[in-house]
Amino acid sequence: MKMLDIHGTLHERGLPGPDLVRVFYNDANWERYDRASKLAASKGVETIQAALEYVLHQRFPTGAIIGARNRKELRVLLCGSMAVANRTGDCRA
């Protein structure tokens, strides 16, 4: 059986462990993921960048712990965090 995980990764042997599935794989979370994906697409950024900006723009002090799974994800997240810090929306600034 092939299934997608919350990151959009295709798993040949099904879903990750049962605890992860029990906690995160529910309709409410998939709806949140779909909304975040649509928002990110409308802004021209990756979904993980939109999620990072959401965390960093709360009205109360926050910190984001990123869990990049590869170099591409790390670059995308660092670019997003620089854009937030610079308030430019552009990671080249």
pLDDT surpasses 80 at 90: no
Max CA pair span of the chain: 44
Select from 9, 8, 37, 5 the least CA-distant residue to 24: 5
Record the pTM.
0.62
Average pLDDT, the chain: 75
Span 55-77, pLDDT tens digits: 888 999 988 887 787 888 888 88
pLDDT at residue 82 in the model: 62
Q: Are 79 and 72 in contact (CB under 8 A)?
A: no
Helix axes 47-56, 71-86, angle to 10 degrees: 40
